[in-house]
A = this chain, B = another copy of it.
Amino acid sequence: MAKKGDLLTVREDIRVVDATIRDGGLCNDFRFTDKFVKDLYHANVKAGVDYMEFGYKASKEIFKEENFGKWKFSNDDHIREVVGENDTNLKIAVMADVGRTDFKNDIIPKNESPIDLIRIATYINTIPAAVEMIEDAVKKGYETTINIMAVSKATREDIVSALEIFGKTPVNAFYIVDSYGALYPEQARDLADLYCEIADKYGKSVGVHAHNNQQLAFANTIEAMTHGVSYLDATVDGMGRGAGNCALELLLGFLKNPKYQVQPIIKIIEEHTSALRKQGVKWGYDIPYMLTGQYNTHPRPAISFTNENREDYYNFSNEIFDIING
């Protein structure tokens, strides 16, 4: 596929998606202050961000409300307290995980909700359930994306099969999700080409959600973009599970459309995410995450290492070798 765009031109199809509350919420069990969320909402509006993801629509049967902050569940009325009628150009998104969302009850008709976009997260082996969720959300009036997680572990054949199925649904966009932070730019470009080829056939868009295990989240995001991807996930200060995500401030500084402004996001870093770090909330590149990325495996052991305040990197490098090869 031909490269799309260059370093100087504006691509009108680009959609910047701020996933700070949702992916960052995995670092602090979604316990953000109301001020944080409100300040971030207003900063995103000023920064020209296209979508703000508030959190998960998690099932209250599976997860107890007292164990999490409110953005694990993203009740419509909680979102409304932040955005009012949301009379802005910023659209509101939430994530719904296959098998972990009571979508029939918790996702209400769009005309009663402040939410615009339902992002449906699936593994490649739960496609029929994902299709059902897409159809439900579209029937209720929402935009939808399908976020196929852990793509670095999927075969090309499985990806093609999945996208051919999703192409026939009313979903708006296919998402490349590098859950393990394992992709190199060359692979991100190849996947972008593959996703875009099938997306073009069905009139869909493509998105990318990268993790920073190998300090490649930003690089993979912009490289996928130049190969045709238009929905670009990022988080303030890179806040997100494990090694975190593509930093929104890097992405906004790169994009040439003058509607994107980096300074409102820098203010959020100064006033909010820096404070979270000082309070002990942990995310970002570190050696254990680098190793799980290099080994193309789930960051779980690295998250445990970090949470236990361990610093014995060398032991960890042996442990992870044994986990992978043992």
Contact = CB atoms under 8 A, between A and B. Distances in A.
Contacts of A253: 214, 290-291, 294
A197 B37 CA distance: 51
A311 B270 contact: yes
Nearest to A6: B186
A254 B184 contact: yes
A149 interface: no
Contacts of A250: 214-215, 290
A287 B314 contact: no
Contacts of A36: none
Interface string A191-216: 00000000000000000000010111
Interface residues of A, number: 39
Contact of A219 (B219, B247, B266, B274): B219
A254 B287 CA distance: 14
Contact of A314 (B186, B216, B267): B267
Interface string A274-317: 10000000000001001100100000000000000001111001
A232 to B, nearest CB: 15
A7 B314 contact: no
Query: Chain B CB within 10 Å — which of A247, A274, A314 has the most?
Result: A314
Residue from A7, A212, A270, A311 with most neighbouring chain B CB atoms (10 Å): A270
Nearest to A295: B253
A270 B315 CA distance: 10
B185 A219 contact: yes
A202 to B, nearest CB: 28
A249 interface: yes
Contact of A266 (B6, B214, B226, B313): B313
Given A270-B312, A314-B267, A215 B217 contact: yes
A47 to B, nearest CB: 12
Given A311-B274, A314-B270, A218 B218 contact: no
A17 interface: no
A33 interface: no
A2 to B, nearest CB: 14
A266 B305 CA distance: 15
Interface string A65-106: 000000000000000000000000000000000000000000
Interface string A237-279: 0000000000101100110000000110011011000100000
Interface string A213-231: 0111111101100100000
A161 interface: no
7 contacts: A7-B187, A184-B254, A185-B219, A218-B219, A219-B223, A262-B294, A266-B317
